[in-house]
Amino acid sequence: MPTTTAQEVKRVLHSEELLHPGDFVFIPKREATKRFESVPVQPPKGRIARWIWKHFGKKFELKPIFEEVWPAHDAIVINCPICNGPVATTNYHPIATLDPLTIEKPITCPYCRTFTFKVVEGKIMLA
């Protein structure tokens, strides 16, 4: 059964070290990767223009493709104070401060789904 007292949160360096309720790890935003794809260029319609394009024109052009890498925003993975399951914040849970940890909106654990908790000034408590 959950307690009503506030519990301290503790930052760990790697997600493998998340052992106890209230442990959290900060995962910074990663930039999107950029790669290029070669796309064929369509030839022009006129006879003279097509002849000039055939001998001197560009046959392919490079098209940039951006792929997002998780996470596209700063994220916190924190252990639930009830079931000790890992819970990741989304872009709907903005991080106000990192030291001491403050998350602006309450978080509901996806595993137990009955309790919502909030993190304010380094303390985790039920909302």
Q: Indicate if the pLDDT at residue 112 is higher than 90.
A: no
Instruction: Render pLDDT for 16-50 as a digit per residue (tens, 0 to 9).
Output: 999 999 999 999 998 889 999 999 999 999 999 89
The Cβ-side half-sphere exposure at 82, using a 13 Å CA radius, reads 19
Backbone angles phi, psi at 125, to 5 degrees: -145, 155
Q: Average pLDDT for residues 79-106, to the nearest whole number?
A: 92
What is the structure's pLDDT at 5? 77
Contact 3, 124 (CB under 8 A): no
Percent pLDDT > 90 in the chain is: 65
